[in-house]
Amino acid sequence: MIILRLEAERLHRYRVLRLADLPERGIIGLSGDNESGKSAIGEIICFALFGRTFALPGERIGKLVHWGAGEGAVTLRFRVKGKGYEVSRNLTRDGAQSARLIALEAADAPLARADGVTPAIARLVGFGFDDYVETCYLAQREIASPHPHSPAVRAMVGAAPLQACATALDVELGEAEAAQAARRERRLALAEELAQLAPEAGRGQALERQLAEIGEREAQLAERMQALQGASDAYSTAYRRHGSHGARRALAGLLANIALLAVLAAGAIWAMLHFQPATWPMPVLIAWLEGLIAETGLTTHAVVTAVMVIFGGFLLLTWLWLAVLALGLRRRRARARRLARELDRLDSLEPLPARLREAPGAGSLVTAGDGGEAVASTAAGVEGDLGLVIDRPDVERRARLRQRILFLEAAVAEVCSALEHEAVWLKRDLERLHAWQAATRQGLARLRSEGQRHQAVIQELAKLDQEILAAEEWMATRRLARDLLAGAARDLSRRFSSGLRDMVSRALPRFTEGHYEFLEVDEDLQVRVYSSDKRNLLDLDEISSGTQRQIMLALRLGLAQELVARRVRDDQFVFLDEPFAFFDSRRLRGALKNLSELGGELTQYWVVAQRFPQDAPIGLEIACGQHPDTLTLGFPEVS
Amino acid sequence: MIKLPFSRKAPEEASIKPSVAFAAYCEAERERRRDTAGGLDEPRFQAALDLALERLRAHEAAEETRP
């Protein structure tokens, strides 16, 4: 891009600025004292191209309008690849802009208008504002080392797309790593839970066995208690009935004996009456009897026979009573034996094993938990509520009682008291068994629940492991892709730095009068320069500031050349605002000569200086500041 | 003839696409990694290369179609 003509009105310090017939090759010198409007030309060119300047941020661009004026305008004519173009912009003090871009060969059909002008120019000239200020436009400021990560430099290197893709992958990786960290955290938590859930081998079977044993013992105790209660009730009944057994037995025996005697006497009388009626005392007895039955009409024989039959019947009845009494006694003794047998069975009951005598949860199979503690407290409460001695009656006492029961001598109260004692003992064991049964059931339920959770955790862990593995694979591929992109970007940077170094090294001796022959430019665009005098590579801070500026100028021109070579591939202007501010006239003359002999695509150099030496190789010198706010060149003078 | 410090580049030299430069770099890198002690995980390298190339080409296409 070569600038052909510049016209501006009411912009910056110029009320009128008109520059035409500008040389397309060589140096255009802008000279003048301070505040003469040299730098303003650079800013107006920048505004014409991109609608903004280096010095004024976008929101303050209205300040570019000339003091006292409400709006300004600029028209810049330039050439790109052999074709002429013209960009016009209007700017109001409040920052409002209008713009138009035309091709000179078709001026009636604008190529772009308004906001479309700046992108159109960027496409046309091959670079945008950022690239421009990093390379072709050196504003009046300290020349610093170009930043390797600036968009312009990255674009020049060709690494910008690589780095954009690497950055996108980095973002994806960051998100994936966060998700992976969450998965690993979850996995750790699950592994810890699994370690706590890990069931002991055979614990479930042991609990099942314990539950069966408890059930069996409980049933046995319950049966014994019921049987004991039944036997006790039967014994009580028997004992109460047995109380009058002696008297009834004696009475029945007496009556039986009397009846027997009476039957025998009646039989003897009947026999004597029948066979020896004349033998004494039969006649007396017969006379007495006949006197008694004289009015009845009965015979003596009949009366005696009747008496004998009556007594015989009575005898049979008494014998029957005696038999009934004997039968009752036998039955009561059987009940007594039954009670004694139940007591014997109690004796033969196995005591609870020690583990079941403890409260559930204390060193038992059943884990002490909510249920276990509740049941333990229930078991403790049984003994506390009963408030009785819970040891069994001693063996000797039980033996004596048994004997007395067998003989139906133990009173009901005595038996009840003894059995109550036994019942307390049995109830205590039963309650313990109940507590253990409940605790064991709870333990089993918990074990089953833990078993289910165990399985679920194992499944989730397996799924999580698969996800972690897949994510690792996914991330490894992206890490490698990112590393390859970064490596390629570094490689491009190295190549770029190497090319830049070669190019700038060729220019460097010209700018430093042979004091520095070549320089090193690393991939971060950090510069070290070889001093011919010191025969060593020096960092920039080891050399004078004037030389630093020369080296940086050479580097910037090298970057500009690279930009143009890669993106524009056409002749290009460069605007250098006081690049040789501290040069003496001899050195300035040499620098300007070298500038015009650099070669490459940079052909039109706009160089700002306070003054140029008489014999400096300048194609056109524009003296600024001769009129306060007007500068005209190649146009008729404006009054 | 005196060689000037700056010289014009040939058009093809100046306009190598990033994806082409990247593919060339990756081929050299593949060879280099094959010679390293750890060796080269070919499938993963290829997958990473394909992924990066796909992204780069998409990026280039987006750049080209940008108004």
What are the tens digits of pLDDT across the range A147-183? 555 666 666 667 778 888 999 999 999 999 999 999 9
Top mean-pLDDT range of A341-350, A362-371, A499-508: A341-350
Mean pLDDT lowest for which of A558-562, A571-575, B48-52?
A558-562
Stretch A300-305: mean pLDDT: 88
Stretch A257-283: mean pLDDT: 90
Region of residue A90 (left: phi > 0; alpha: psi -120 to 50; beta: else): beta
Question: In this structure, what token pair is assigned to residue A446?
Answer: 């918990």
Mean pLDDT lowest for which of A90-104, A554-568, A610-624, B32-46?
A554-568
Question: In this structure, what token pair is assigned to residue A258?
Answer: 């009397």
pLDDT score for A626: 80
Q: How confident is the model at residue A599 (pLDDT cuts 50, 70, 90)?
A: confident
Burial code of A388-425, b = ≥16 C-beta within 10 A, e = fewer? Answer: eeeebeeeeebeebbebbeebebebeebeebbebbbbb
pLDDT score for A371: 41
pLDDT score for A183: 95
pLDDT score for B62: 85
Judged against a pLDDT cut of 50, whether residue A428 lies above it is answered with yes
Task: List CB contacts of A387: < 8 A, sequence separation 6 or more.
Answer: none
A-interface mutation test, from B1, B6, B19, B54, most A Cβ less than 10 A away: B6
Stretch A370-374: mean pLDDT: 41
Q: How confident is the model at residue A374 (pLDDT cuts 50, 70, 90)?
A: very low
B12 to chain A: which residues are within 8 Å by CB? none
Whether A395 maps to a domain, the answer reads no
Stretch A226-230: mean pLDDT: 90
Alpha-carbon distance values, A130 to A52, A504, B14 (Å): 11, 22, 20
pLDDT score for A34: 85
Judged against a pLDDT cut of 80, whether residue A528 lies above it is answered with no
Stretch A181-205: mean pLDDT: 87
Q: How confident is the model at residue A380 (pLDDT cuts 50, 70, 90)?
A: very low
* Percent of chain A whose predicted confidence (pLDDT) is above 70: 90
Judged against a pLDDT cut of 50, whether residue A491 lies above it is answered with yes
Q: Is the ipTM of this complex over 0.85?
A: yes
pLDDT score for A420: 84
Q: How confident is the model at residue A369 (pLDDT cuts 50, 70, 90)?
A: very low
Q: How confident is the model at residue A276 (pLDDT cuts 50, 70, 90)?
A: confident
- A32-38 LR contacts (CB < 8 Å, sep 24+): A32/A610, A32/A623, A32/A624, A32/A625, A33/A610, A33/A625, A34/A610, A35/A625, A36/A624, A36/A625, A37/A12, A37/A13, A37/A624, A37/A625, A37/A631, A38/A577, A38/A578, A38/A608, A38/A624
Q: Is the CB of B16 less than 8 angstroms away from the CB of A158?
A: yes
Whether A70 maps to a domain, the answer reads yes
pLDDT score for A143: 60
Stretch A545-562: mean pLDDT: 76
* Domains of chain A: total: 1
Backbone angles phi, psi at A84, to 5 degrees: -95, 140
Give the CATH number for residue A568: 3.40.50.300
pLDDT score for A564: 77
pTM of the predicted structure, to 2 decimals:
0.56
Stretch A481-506: mean pLDDT: 82
Mean pLDDT, all residues of chain A = 83
* Percent of chain A whose predicted confidence (pLDDT) is above 90: 28
Residue whose pair of structure tokens reads 């060193």 in the numeric block: A363
Stretch A48-53: mean pLDDT: 91
Judged against a pLDDT cut of 70, whether residue B10 lies above it is answered with no
Judged against a pLDDT cut of 90, whether residue A460 lies above it is answered with yes
pLDDT score for A60: 87
Stretch A436-457: mean pLDDT: 88
Angle between helices A300-348 and A412-511 (to 10 degrees): 20
Stretch A343-358: mean pLDDT: 80
A507: closest chain B residue by CA: B5
pLDDT score for A600: 75
Stretch A304-309: mean pLDDT: 91
Whether A440 maps to a domain, the answer reads no
The C-alpha angle A275, A276, A279, rounded to 5 degrees, equals 170
Whether A236 maps to a domain, the answer reads no
Question: Across the interface, which of B9, B19, B44 has its CB nearest the CB of A480?
Answer: B44
Judged against a pLDDT cut of 70, whether residue A138 lies above it is answered with yes
Stretch A305-322: mean pLDDT: 93
CA distance A457 to chain B (A): 32
Task: List CB contacts of A107: < 8 A, sequence separation 6 or more.
Answer: A86
Mean pLDDT lowest for which of A136-145, A273-282, A595-604?
A136-145
Angle between helices A245-275 and A300-348 (to 10 degrees): 150
Stretch A385-396: mean pLDDT: 59
Whether A290 maps to a domain, the answer reads no
Residue whose pair of structure tokens reads 């003496």 in the numeric block: A584
pLDDT score for A549: 74
Q: Is the CB of A569 less than 8 angstroms away from the CB of B11?
A: yes
Q: How confident is the model at residue A392 (pLDDT cuts 50, 70, 90)?
A: low
Judged against a pLDDT cut of 90, whether residue A257 lies above it is answered with yes
Whether A586 maps to a domain, the answer reads yes
Whether A555 maps to a domain, the answer reads yes
Interface of B with A in 8-67 (CB under 8 A): 8-9, 11, 14-16, 18-19, 21-22, 25-26, 29, 44-45, 47-49, 51-52, 55-56, 59-60, 63, 67
pLDDT score for A313: 94
A566 to chain B: which residues are within 8 Å by CB? 9, 14-15
CA distance B3 to chain A (A): 9
Stretch A116-130: mean pLDDT: 87
Q: Of residues A364 and A87, which shows the higher confidence score?
A: A87
In which domain, by residue range, is A542 found? 2-145+526-633
Alpha-carbon distance values, B5 to A38, A58, A525 (Å): 28, 37, 19
User: Domain segments of chain B: what residues?
Assistant: 16-65
Q: What share of chain A is helix, strand, coil (3-state, %, to 5)?
A: 60, 15, 25
Judged against a pLDDT cut of 60, whether residue A382 lies above it is answered with no
Backbone angles phi, psi at A519, to 5 degrees: -135, 160
A556 to chain B: which residues are within 8 Å by CB? none
Q: Of residues A34 and A313, which shows the higher confidence score?
A: A313
Whether A459 maps to a domain, the answer reads no
pLDDT tens-digit map of B19-48: 888 999 999 999 998 888 888 899 999 999
Q: Is the CB of A477 less than 8 angstroms away from the CB of B51?
A: yes
Q: Is the CB of B5 less than 8 angstroms away from the CB of A503?
A: yes
